[in-house]
Structure 1
């Protein structure tokens, strides 16, 4: 059984990390977006002992999200400059796919349906048909400002302010932007829910088996839910406290609560990782409702997590959080990127084969 190894990437972003993503399939490519207005492309060695910075892609403003497209040479970004961009990672060419009227918070690519969805603080989703890039995106109005976005094989989960959660059917979104479609009317949400968490949603991630999703909040909690809206299925949903530390007795005791900034499901075993403002990463078995392990504390807040397509690598973005205020905030010199090669059964849950 191969032991787990972990290393720090030599050339991390110069400011806070906003998102990271591994390439599709067995790709060892890693994209990292940053508040320093750049997207970084790394190549992780086959032995996972080092990651080489291939090149950077400069933007006009901080980049809030990044994802790969259908191939390891294609990427999409969401930025504070209101733009959704496509990047040709081989040539460096950048193409503006659409413009929102406010900052773009999230971007998600569905390989199964060849569509790209962006979510903006202007309270809209843009659905792009990647097969027909000249076609304008379909705009879908939202009842609140989106804060997190995630896709499963058939569903899109949008977490918004006021604890609003909308779930869309991806085949319906793809049909709406099909050039042969007689109508480009925005589809209605497949389901509308209220978050199980009482405070602002920080992250959302979908189960790889298309069964449900997990959300996290600024108040140190994670909720696990299933798409099936039958009473039996909904009775299975649960929430739990995490990423908290005991306060010193001389400060009144109790818990110091940290935001859960990132969630990522393991693509093979269906377990998931959480990263928090307390500087820790934990692995959870969603079915068994238990924490499998917690790694050693990192030097700063954990801002972003991502598993490689084969589930063998976990990328961890670390930078100062906003927990203590923003007046003197600087991620320069304190932003770090770690790659962990998981042991053979490290992320395997109780029920995994």
Structure 2
């Protein structure tokens, strides 16, 4: 059960499910681009996933680990990101068709709420003290902020390059761009640039996640690159608190070379503050950034892990197994199915006790 400690597992270990985790029924038909659990204000756990098959699906996740498909919405092109409204009544969907839509779950209808001049890569709902809006980041090199009552953006911020990844934890937003740009924004009052950050990473940024300090205040971020490395960056502490670590690399090739894979996604545990990474090597890793230690690593899946997320109370870790296209279309194998797995994770992500 998700709300109990202990080792209840389901099924037998197979090459497609080596960790014997709960498998979500009726998964997407193409690569999975985005995952998000419903917010804490909803008593049930709902999971939404966006896919390159142009659809966004929603499941209810029961305490037993069983998943029930609830509904699906389609867009005109592949879906690149999804997020929830703070009250759990709506899901926002960002697409390669240059639009973002708002899916009202009660009526099961969706309407367009945002538009860009190029595909929209990221979408995040911002619930501030004085306003609420949708933030979209696009390959047209802009961030746009949308009051849902108006068809025009309330604010446009120009980026130095295409938006590749973003995270929001009010009052902070972190945005990674092509060309290894990383800009932190202050969202209080009106969104504005706080600082541009130079990081000790030599390769393209692929994912970013904001973390909180011991007072539960957003304090910095982790960013993953295409060369199997994560940078931990604190915004207001001395630079010696910042570090990078290697992950999603395989040793032991006969010629002594190391296979290096992209870090595809990062998620912080909402209770413990520990962190999960998933990569192109088909594994997930759990880490304690404060102790700078690894807590757990998974067996490799048959395909890369493209996305991951925790539910609101940190009992469930969801991860999506599908091709990430890092080796080009010639390595795509349609015979390998896409999967989303759910893992009871609360105990595994507890920080190690200090000696």
Same fold per superposition (TM over 0.5): yes
Structure 1, unaligned stretches of length 5 or more?
175-186
Is 1:297–2:300 an aligned residue pair?
Answer: yes
Give 3-state SS (helix, strand or coil) of 1:235's partner: helix
Is 1:137–2:139 an aligned residue pair?
Answer: no
- For residues 92 and 333 of structure 1, do their structure 2 counterparts lie closer, same or farther at Cα, with a shift above 3 Å needed? farther
- 1:134 Cα offset (Å): 5.2
- 1:279 Cα offset (Å): 0.7
Q: Check conservation: 2:172, 2:184, Cα contact below 8 A.
A: yes
What is aligned with 2:257? 254
Deviates more, 1:112-121 or 1:15-24: 112-121
Q: CA RMSD in A?
A: 1.8
Deviates more, 1:34-43 or 1:72-81: 72-81
Aligned partners of 2:338 and 2:190: how far apart in 1?
37
What is aligned with 1:52? 68
Q: Check conservation: 2:274, 2:286, Cα contact below 8 A.
A: yes
- For residues 135 and 104 of structure 1, do their structure 2 counterparts lie closer, same or farther at Cα, with a shift above 3 Å needed? closer
| CA deviation string 1:142-169 (max 9, x = no partner) | 1111110001231100011221111000
What is aligned with 1:192? 196
What is aligned with 1:245? 250
Q: Check conservation: 2:114, 2:151, Cα contact below 8 A.
A: no
Aligned partners of 1:332 and 1:77: how far apart in 2?
28
Q: Check conservation: 2:35, 2:308, Cα contact below 8 A.
A: yes
Q: Check conservation: 1:27, 1:309, Cα contact below 8 A.
A: no
Q: Check conservation: 2:44, 2:61, Cα contact below 8 A.
A: no
What is aligned with 2:15? none
Aligned partners of 2:337 and 2:128: how far apart in 1?
38
Alignment of 1:301-316 (within 5 A): 301-316=304-319
What is aligned with 1:222? 230
* TM-score normalised to structure 1 length: 0.89
What is aligned with 1:212? 220
- For residues 37 and 332 of structure 1, do their structure 2 counterparts lie closer, same or farther at Cα, with a shift above 3 Å needed? farther
- 1:315 Cα offset (Å): 0.7
Alignment of 1:272-283 (within 5 A): 272-283=275-286
* TM-score normalised to structure 2 length: 0.89
| CA deviation string 1:234-275 (max 9, x = no partner) | 2210001111001421xx212100111010000111001000
Q: Check conservation: 2:128, 2:188, Cα contact below 8 A.
A: no
Structure possessing the higher relative contact order (Cα contacts under 8 Å, 6 or more residues apart):
1
What is aligned with 1:11? 26
Structure 2, unaligned stretches of length 5 or more?
10-20
